[in-house]
């Protein structure tokens, strides 16, 4: 075998690549031995061995999809990798990390989830734009900067939130002393008078873990699928990606409706 001394970085081959672990901070290696993994479309960068990538609508995979895939409406964004060999996953040079769940549950922003083992069940979260994984197994998530784990009670910046495990209390928190009243309205509307941009947070209480990315640059949202248009279903009736714009949801500053509500008009 030819060698290339001084090539600098480590040269990997199937025997030196890790099994279901990171190759570097941005690349993850999955070993398939006749097993299957779900992955987001187009995140495979290279593989050794023989593998097949099939869209979720593939007939042979129907049973697998029924047991571990419960978001039928965004199935077209996912593929099933099957075969044997080692596969490298990466996403636009973002940090990738794997997490293990043991009889647990974790809710994650839809754009951050890269891949998961079929022993986990993927479901749409009640929170629009988020997906929930339930069961035992490994999944791979991307984040903009390394992930930090925090214990509730905690208030986090919406753009830094990646997901949360085992704590069922995500709620909005507004800095009311700062945001209400005439001055608050003007601040939010104009950005003048010292709006800090941190008047709104997500709040978590109870036992569990909150995952944050160390940057406030959001990953591109993946459509998490529309939900049935029924009374009592949050985000119901909204087209995918346009959820959370009902009355009561925070509106963009500059919309008159906000100001009217503040002034009690």
Q: 3-state DSSP call for residue 108?
A: strand
Among 18, 42, 72, 193, binds another protein (CB under 8 A): 42
CB of 22 to another protein, least distance (A): 10
CB of 3 to another protein, least distance (A): 10
Question: Of 92, 8, 106, nearest to 42 (Cα)?
Answer: 92
Q: Which one-letter DSSP state was computed for residue 127?
A: S
Phi, psi at 184, each rounded to 5°: -60, -45
Stretch that binds another protein, among 66-74, 92-100, 120-128, 156-164 (CB under 8 A): 92-100
Give the integer Cα–Cα distance in Å for 51 and 36.
10
Among 20, 35, 36, 53, binds another protein (CB under 8 A): 53
CB of 1 to another protein, least distance (A): 6
> Applying CB under 8 A, does 58 fall inside the site for another protein?
yes
Task: Tell me how many degrees the CA angle 142-127-196 measures, rounded to the nearest 5.
Answer: 75
The CA–CA distances, whole Å, from 101 to 50, 88, 105, 199, 244 equal: 28, 21, 7, 33, 29
Is residue 32 within 8 A of residue 84, CB to CB? The reply is yes
Which of 63, 265 has the CB closer to another protein?
A: 63
Question: Of 167, 259, 265, nearest to 208 (Cα)?
Answer: 167
Q: Which one-letter DSSP state was computed for residue 69?
A: B
Among 30, 79, 108, 188, binds another protein (CB under 8 A): 79
Stretch that binds another protein, among 47-55, 102-110, 238-246, 254-262 (CB under 8 A): 47-55
Which of 89, 120 has the CB closer to another protein?
A: 89
> Applying CB under 8 A, does 24 fall inside the site for another protein?
yes
> Applying CB under 8 A, does 136 fall inside the site for another protein?
no
Length of the chain: 265
> Applying CB under 8 A, does 10 fall inside the site for another protein?
yes
Question: Of 156, 154, 130, 147, nearest to 213 (Cα)?
Answer: 147
Which of 36, 258 has the CB closer to another protein?
A: 36
Name residue 108's beta-bridge partners: 131, 163
Among 30, 32, 65, 90, binds another protein (CB under 8 A): 90
CB of 55 to another protein, least distance (A): 4
What are the residue ranges of helices labelled H in 21-136?
A: 62-68
**Which tokens hold the place of 251?**
């509106």
> Applying CB under 8 A, does 72 fall inside the site for another protein?
no
Question: Of 88, 59, 57, 90, nearest to 75 (Cα)?
Answer: 57
> Applying CB under 8 A, does 171 fall inside the site for another protein?
no
> Applying CB under 8 A, does 121 fall inside the site for another protein?
no
> Applying CB under 8 A, does 5 fall inside the site for another protein?
yes
Among 26, 70, 134, 203, binds another protein (CB under 8 A): 26
Give the integer Cα–Cα distance in Å for 32 and 125.
28
Residues that bind another protein (CB under 8 A): 1-2, 4-14, 23-27, 39-42, 44-48, 51-58, 76, 79, 88, 90-93, 96
């Amino acid at each position: 075998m030819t060698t290339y001394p001084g090539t600098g970085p480590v040269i990997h081959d199937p025997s030196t690549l890790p099994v279901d672990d990171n190759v570097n901070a941005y690349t993850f290696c999955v070993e398939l031995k006749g097993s299957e993994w779900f992955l987001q479309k187009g995140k495979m960068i290279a593989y050794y061995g023989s593998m097949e990538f099939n869209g979720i609508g593939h007939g042979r995979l129907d049973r697998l999809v029924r047991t571990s895939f419960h978001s039928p409406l965004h199935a077209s964004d996912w593929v099933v990798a099957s075969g044997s060999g080692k596969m490298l996953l990466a996403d636009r040079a973002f940090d990738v990390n794997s997490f293990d769940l043991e009889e647990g549950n974790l809710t994650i922003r839809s754009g951050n989830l890269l891949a998961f083992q079929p022993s986990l069940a993927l479901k749409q979260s009640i929170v629009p734009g988020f997906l929930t994984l339930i069961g035992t197994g490994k999944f791979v998530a991307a984040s903009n900067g390394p992930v930090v784990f925090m214990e509730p009670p905690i208030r986090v910046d919406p753009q830094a939130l990646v997901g949360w495990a085992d704590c069922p209390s995500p709620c909005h928190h507004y800095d009311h002393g700062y945001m209400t009243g005439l001055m608050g309205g003007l601040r939010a509307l104009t950005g003048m008078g010292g709006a800090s941009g941190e008047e709104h947070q997500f709040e978590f209480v109870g036992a569990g873990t909150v995952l944050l990315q160390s940057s406030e640059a959001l990953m591109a949202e993946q459509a998490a699928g529309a939900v049935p248009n029924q009374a009592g279903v949050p985000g119901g009736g909204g087209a995918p990606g346009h959820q959370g714009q009902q009355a009561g949801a925070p509106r963009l500053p500059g919309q008159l409706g906000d100001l009217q509500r503040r002034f009690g008009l």
